[in-house]
Structure 1
Amino acid sequence: CAHDVINQAGLLATDVSSIAITNQRESIVIWDKQTGKPLAPAIIWQDRRTASYCQALAAKNLMIGAQGSNGSSNNSSQGDMASEVQRITGLRLDPYFSASKIAWLLEHNPKLSVRASKGEIAVGTIDSWLIYKLTGGEHVIDVTNASRTLLYDIHKLAWSEELCARFGIPMNILPKVLPSDGDFGKTKKGLFAKQIPIHSVLGDQQAALFGQGCLEAGMAKNTYGTGCFMLMNIGQKPLLSEHKLLTTIAWQRKSAPTRPDNLSFEQIVQSGRRMLQPPSREVTYALEGSVFMAGAIVQWLRDNLGMFQKSGEVEDLARQVDSSEEVVLLPAFTGLGAPYWRSDISASITGMSRGTTKAHIARAALEAVAYQTYDVLIAMQKDSPHPLTELRVDGGAANNDLLMQFQADLLGVPVLRPKDTEITAKGAALLAGLKTGLYDDATMQASWQVDRVFEPSMSIDIRAQHLNKWQQAISRALMVP
């Protein structure tokens, strides 16, 4: 596959200065440390088999130590597992993340558990597995992927002994954690014409945030794919959400330069100045909210209801009517994600009349994506001291002009769509370029180009009517016992 990419680019392996990796987060692989042979099928991030396990853990009360100012533990107190997990990792106790998946594999395979206790096996997220195979033996992980395992202390920047013990996971099977632009090793001899260093690894959503140029606190992006993934840069201090969002590590740059004279990145770009200060190892954090159903709603309309042949046709169908009228599509096919986190709610279409057409339903489907995004971003603004002044978007559904305009109207801020909406791989590549010195931060910022800006144009009264319609539908759903 890598050889094909190099050939398609008209290059030779000797032309490649660095490899960048971006990957689906939370998915895990377990393998033999000596042979590199996988010891069980991978468990992907969507897998919910450990839901009851997580619920049982969440119900437990624990004796926990309060965190001192120096990071030490003191003054034991009664607490619950879910709160302790959030305090340490910034995440929710949920099967979405890696820890319960690893615990399940060890619990359901006694031989694996014995071998794990002896340090004979290795476990990692997809980036770890790829690096191991490319290098022929390096067992490492980048900090953004580590922060999604439910085992990593985002304050101490280390694996949590406490959480590893709670989940029954030996620490000696976990990979070494490196900065996002760390030295992850070189490709093994014979794989390419030369050994190529791996200089950049980022989880997919963090890569999109970086690729969107969201380098300042308060800048946010939304990736519109099967679901929606919103991340907001909150700077160098972890901020635990009070509105059911996640706190995650956006990136850590080993080679990160600091800004001269406290200039903004925009001012640096305009002045052409370069970053001359010594490198910083500071971590950048982000708030994150996930919406389970976005493009998947359109797929449902296509595959289950047969409303159109191709997903791209949904916009033309929705434009056949000026409004969805009273129709609201609540896309809780797998429950509701952030900021509600209700797995017991079912999907529904309400507000229909005899005059309702498939065009109304198609328009309501697109509006549902924007409504869910609105809910998450409002929660982010409540958590963050930084106001949202614009939203940068990417992913396949970001090419839907009707959706993007409605999104801007709901949020009341501009929605910026770059020329390159498949930004995830670009984000990881940009970080590798920065590490190797091909360009600096100013050059990277200047490379981000806008395709179109969607300015809010809806009146305050009409906007309020739309939001009230959605909030009523949510309120009815949340009342389900």
Structure 2
Amino acid sequence: MRRNPFDMSDLDAEIEDNQPQHEINIDAHQSFDGHRSLLQDEENRKDNLKDRFIGAIDQGTTSTRFIIFDCTGNPVAKYQMEYRQIHEHSGWHEQDPLEMVDSVYTCIEEAMKTFLALGHDKSDIEAIGITSQRETTLCWDWESGEPLCYSIAWPDTRTKGLVRELKTHKGADGLKDICGLPLSTYPSSVSLLWLLRNNEHVKHAYEEGRLAFGTVDSWLIYNLNGGPEGRHHVTDVTNASRTMFMNLETLDYDQRLLDFFGLDRKKIRLPKIIPSSDPDGFGYIRSGPLDGVPITSCLGDQSAALVGHCMFSPGTAKNTYGTGCFLLYNVGDKPVISTHGLLGTVGFQLGKNRKPVYALEGSVAVAGSGVSFLMNNMGFFRDSRKVSDLAASVPDSGGCVFVTAFSGLFAPYWIDDAKGTIFGITQHTQRGHIARATMEAACYQTKAILDAMEQDSGHKLTELAVDGGMSNSDICMQTQADIIQIPVERPAMHETTALGAAIAAGFAIDIWREFDELEDMNRANRTSFTPVIDAEQSGKMYKQWSKAVDMSRGWVNTSEMEEE
């Protein structure tokens, strides 16, 4: 049966030359027994881990899921649901904060039904981990716990004009050296400032000292802990590093950053920043079928995927092909400030006694959302899983290049005046060519990011670990390997982001204590894609893409951007 391309789913003993033979036999026998005992201990540990469970809340841009893993990394129960996306104006992308919370509770309830039906008990789940979309901005009333407005999701571009204004302010050029991020529509700081200027409810709450600010993780943890009754307001270092409020070195709020955005700490409740793994800091669930279960980890979704791939060593990298495309490169325990258009960020911190691990990140705005565009806007197919089949109907893109700049281009270009543009269309162009060019766009931008990472780090990546919806397309991943000219490794179990949250939760309660205990996690039955075209041909293809990027500039003039 053909696989659905988008299925979401030696004995060493030192012997002296003069040692008598009978002693050799005894020692060898003892060594063998010791070796067998170690193997038995390892098997017993694996069996034990199969009977221990961690739940993971994965709150993404368009859907929420709850997955229960055993501690060998196998998912045993899962439920996923989409929730509403709100686009009231051009460039706006909002979400209902209450629907977010409701979707989490629904997913927990439904997954628990499966878990209990398998003969397990609620008490078998030892901890909960949370991973969520980053940068999405939420504001609520600290006294009532009610949201003051819809969230502004990370792909929202309403703040383009504000970003241009902020870039002219004194100190703008030095922000990146403190927080690792450039001024753009991406960080939640700019969205918060927009709300303070344009939303009366947010403005009044701020002036009266009732304004609570947070990203999705903080909002969920606040509500899971009982909302205004629990008043549990925290975030982790990975999510905090995406706000432009946190100093990458100190891992705390930096007054210079708060002053730049004009924030008075006396008027706004900012979440306390703690490590990504903590046995107590994230509280516990206060209602529903998991009432009383502790929350012991919290990570931004891309950091969780880095952990889920077990990219614990400097020089390793992963790429997640979700709504957008996010490539993280582990740079070790000291931050690297990019000079080639990348973001400096916290990769993870698995415990307060561990050093943080930093990463360089490159973000592509459009990956899976490009497939959704073909499906919803152009009517190419009714099921997004068919895109790979459509792309396979032609041998190549037929000379088409699709610069998917629906909201400008992110790293390493940072072009905010580009719009989505298709070049190379002829009377012979078919839907399959456009489908293929849509997937290739994410692959080319990944290549651009990898080149920038090599320049920033001084090291060339030898392989790329992948996950996310588009990674399940063999055509897409083979194209990626051809374009970057290194192997692409895809795990068989694709819920890598949720697995990362579960792993982090396990570290908090000492299920694992060292990274090498996870060396076999999610390694079985991996698929490897190696380049099948030579470097010269790959270079020609990339040169054509770069030409198309240059030609896509300047489609939006300043007045149009201000109107948006």
Q: TM-score range by the shorter chain?
A: 0.7 to 0.9
* Equivalent AA in structure 2 for residue 239 of structure 1: V
| CA–CA distance in structure 2, aligned partners of residues 190 and 460 of structure 1 | 56
Q: Which residue of 1 aligns with 2:145?
A: 36
Q: Quick check: 1:333–1:346 contact (8 Å CA) kept in 2?
A: yes
* Equivalent AA in structure 2 for residue 200 of structure 1: S
Give the counterpart of 1:461 among 522, 536, 550.
Answer: 536
User: For each residue in 1:280-317, what CA deviation from the matched residue of structure 2 results, as whole angstroms up to 9, or x when unmatched?
Assistant: 43111111111111122222222333333322222222
Task: Find the residue that maps to 2:151 and give its secondary structure.
Answer: coil
Q: Which residue of 1 aligns with 2:340?
A: 243
Q: Which residue of 2 aligns with 1:315?
A: 388
> How far is 1:113 from its partner?
4.4
1:195 maps to 2:292: yes
> How far is 1:470 from its partner?
1.5
1:10-89 matches, cutoff 5 A: 10=116, 11-60=120-169, 62=170, 80-81=171-172, 83-89=173-179
Q: Which residue of 2 aligns with 1:166?
A: 260
Task: Find the residue that maps to 1:21 and give its secondary structure.
Answer: strand
Q: Quick check: 1:323–1:360 contact (8 Å CA) kept in 2?
A: yes
Q: Quick check: 1:398–1:404 contact (8 Å CA) kept in 2?
A: yes
Structure-2 change in CA distance of 1:207 and 1:165 (3 Å): same
Q: Which residue of 1 aligns with 2:304?
A: 207
Task: Find the residue that maps to 1:164 and give its secondary structure.
Answer: helix
1:178 maps to 2:274: yes
> Which stretch has the larger CA shift, 208-217 or 48-57?
48-57
Q: Quick check: 2:154–2:188 contact (8 Å CA) kept in 1?
A: yes
| CA–CA distance in structure 2, aligned partners of residues 232 and 341 of structure 1 | 19
Q: Which residue of 1 aligns with 2:69?
A: none
| CA–CA distance in structure 2, aligned partners of residues 376 and 22 of structure 1 | 24
Q: Quick check: 2:141–2:205 contact (8 Å CA) kept in 1?
A: no
Structure-2 change in CA distance of 1:350 and 1:110 (3 Å): closer
* Equivalent AA in structure 1 for residue 275 of structure 2: P
> How far is 1:342 from its partner?
1.1
Q: Which residue of 1 aligns with 2:351?
A: 254
Task: Find the residue that maps to 2:519 and give its secondary structure.
Answer: helix
Task: Find the residue that maps to 1:230 and give its secondary structure.
Answer: strand
Task: Find the residue that maps to 1:402 and give its secondary structure.
Answer: helix
1:299-314 matches, cutoff 5 A: 299-314=372-387
| CA–CA distance in structure 1, aligned partners of residues 143 and 264 of structure 2 | 18
Bigger radius of gyration: 2
| CA–CA distance in structure 1, aligned partners of residues 450 and 308 of structure 2 | 20
* Equivalent AA in structure 2 for residue 177 of structure 1: I
> How far is 1:114 from its partner?
5.7
1:98 maps to 2:188: yes
Task: Find the residue that maps to 1:229 and give its secondary structure.
Answer: strand
Q: Which residue of 2 aligns with 1:217?
A: 314
> Which stretch has the larger CA shift, 118-127 or 427-436?
118-127
> How far is 1:185 from its partner?
4.0
User: For each residue in 1:237-273, what CA deviation from the matched residue of structure 2 results, as whole angstroms up to 9, or x when unmatched?
Assistant: 1111111111111111226xxxxxxxxxxxxxxxxxx
> How far is 1:99 from its partner?
1.1
User: For each residue in 1:39-70, what CA deviation from the matched residue of structure 2 results, as whole angstroms up to 9, or x when unmatched?
Assistant: 3332222222322222111012x2xxxxxxxx
| CA–CA distance in structure 2, aligned partners of residues 54 and 410 of structure 1 | 33
Q: Which residue of 2 aligns with 1:477?
A: 552
Q: Which residue of 2 aligns with 1:125?
A: 215
1:367-378 matches, cutoff 5 A: 367-378=440-451
| CA–CA distance in structure 1, aligned partners of residues 424 and 146 of structure 2 | 55
* Equivalent AA in structure 2 for residue 58 of structure 1: K
| CA–CA distance in structure 2, aligned partners of residues 310 and 188 of structure 1 | 36
Task: Find the residue that maps to 2:305 and give its secondary structure.
Answer: helix
Structure-2 change in CA distance of 1:179 and 1:307 (3 Å): same
> Which stretch has the larger CA shift, 201-210 or 102-111?
102-111
Task: Find the residue that maps to 1:101 and give its secondary structure.
Answer: helix
| CA–CA distance in structure 1, aligned partners of residues 407 and 202 of structure 2 | 32
Q: Which residue of 2 aligns with 1:273?
A: none
Task: Find the residue that maps to 2:520 and give its secondary structure.
Answer: helix
Q: Quick check: 1:13–1:194 contact (8 Å CA) kept in 2?
A: no
1:151 maps to 2:248: no
Q: Quick check: 2:345–2:358 contact (8 Å CA) kept in 1?
A: yes
Q: Which residue of 1 aligns with 2:496?
A: 423
Task: Find the residue that maps to 1:425 and give its secondary structure.
Answer: helix
Q: Quick check: 1:207–1:427 contact (8 Å CA) kept in 2?
A: yes
Q: Which residue of 1 aligns with 2:518?
A: 444
Q: Quick check: 1:14–1:194 contact (8 Å CA) kept in 2?
A: no
> Which stretch has the larger CA shift, 128-137 or 118-127?
118-127
Q: Which residue of 1 aligns with 2:79?
A: none
* Equivalent AA in structure 1 for residue 231 of structure 2: G
| CA–CA distance in structure 2, aligned partners of residues 377 and 120 of structure 1 | 44
| CA–CA distance in structure 2, aligned partners of residues 216 and 185 of structure 1 | 26
> How far is 1:16 from its partner?
2.0
Give the counterpart of 1:399 among 472, 476, 480.
Answer: 472
**C-alpha RMSD of the superposition:** 2.1
> Which stretch has the larger CA shift, 140-149 or 351-360?
351-360
Q: Which residue of 2 aligns with 1:3?
A: 109
| CA–CA distance in structure 2, aligned partners of residues 105 and 226 of structure 1 | 24
| CA–CA distance in structure 1, aligned partners of residues 200 and 426 of structure 2 | 58
1:245-394 matches, cutoff 5 A: 245-254=342-351, 280-394=353-467
Q: Which residue of 2 aligns with 1:277?
A: none
| CA–CA distance in structure 2, aligned partners of residues 55 and 347 of structure 1 | 21
> How far is 1:117 from its partner?
5.3
> How far is 1:471 from its partner?
2.1
> How far is 1:200 from its partner?
0.3
Structure-2 change in CA distance of 1:36 and 1:309 (3 Å): closer
Structure-2 change in CA distance of 1:364 and 1:192 (3 Å): closer
| CA–CA distance in structure 1, aligned partners of residues 554 and 155 of structure 2 | 26
Q: Structure 1 length as normaliser, TM-score?
A: 0.85
> Which stretch has the larger CA shift, 315-324 or 174-183?
315-324
| CA–CA distance in structure 2, aligned partners of residues 226 and 131 of structure 1 | 24
Task: Find the residue that maps to 1:9 and give its secondary structure.
Answer: helix
> How far is 1:456 from its partner?
1.4
| CA–CA distance in structure 1, aligned partners of residues 291 and 421 of structure 2 | 56
Q: Quick check: 2:156–2:185 contact (8 Å CA) kept in 1?
A: yes
* Equivalent AA in structure 2 for residue 474 of structure 1: V
* Gaps in structure 2 of 5+ consecutive residues: 1-104, 558-564
* Equivalent AA in structure 1 for residue 493 of structure 2: D
